Amino acid sequence: MMKIDILTLFPNMFDGFLNESIIKRAIERKLVSINVVNFRKYSKLNNSQVDDTPYGGGSGMVLMCEPIVSAIEDLKDDDTTVILLTPQGIPYKQKSAMMLKEKKHIILVCGHYEGFDERIRNFVDMEISIGDYVLTGGEIPAMAISDSIIRLLDGVIKEDSYVNDSFTDNRLDYPTYTKPYDFRGMKVPDVLISGDHKKIEAYRQEESLKRTKERRPDLLD
């Protein structure tokens, strides 16, 4: 079973994520184990302090090395991948999820506030960004990354639900339809009700490529 440890100062942010739908079911079925840890408990200072003002001046508070590094050292073994969430990390892609799903144990480190002491970088294996925008902390990125990995784990969802996913072959998804056949004059394409599976597959491949060319030509480069 894959193990994910999440280091955060705001464990309650994960309540909804862990207790609904597919993620909840994956945990109940022991396909993944998720351990949300408040790294404040690793502080050795008064009032469990975890941050302080930056050397050299400037605004905001900076997360200190000790609590985060102690937490990492307490939780990791020799088969652990430690990941720091930061806008400065490598951009996260579907391919990254496919790589991470093979790991036995990952630790996701969520920063918050202005940032963290630079020296923390020496204790992580990789840094990931989920996009070129800045969030208030790494919690939502940790959820996004965990979610994208967990749905790929064996037995979590049916394999045909993700072999055709957007991005899997650098292509966006093809369009899908369900009942009714006619919604306000907009009809389902004839080929989909033809019953000809070869033709349907060809139509879907064609639409997938067309959509990718129109919307995300960068994926085809």
Catalytic positions: 87, 114, 151, 165
Q: Which is nearer to ligand ADE, 92 or 174 (CB)?
A: 92
The nearest distance, CB 46 to ligand ADE, in angstroms, is 28
What single string gives the DSSP state of each residue in 131-187?
A: SSS--SBSHHHHHHHHHHHHTTSTTTS-THHHHT-TTTTS-PPPP---S-SEETTEE
Q: Which is nearer to ligand ADE, 69 or 128 (CB)?
A: 128
CA proximity to 139, closest of 109, 96, 101, 107:
109
Q: Which is nearer to ligand ADE, 141 or 212 (CB)?
A: 141
Distances (CA, A) of 30 to 3, 62, 78, 86, 167: 10, 37, 22, 29, 28
Dist CA 115 CA 113 (whole Å):
6
Dist CA 110 CA 137 (whole Å):
6
Q: Which is nearer to ligand ADE, 54 or 87 (CB)?
A: 87
* Chain positions contacting ligand ADE, by CB under 6 A: 85-87, 129-131, 133-135, 138, 141
The nearest distance, CB 172 to ligand ADE, in angstroms, is 22
Q: Take residue 111 and report the two structure tokens written for it.
A: 């920063």
Dist CA 107 CA 4 (whole Å):
6
The nearest distance, CB 14 to ligand ADE, in angstroms, is 15
The nearest distance, CB 141 to ligand ADE, in angstroms, is 4
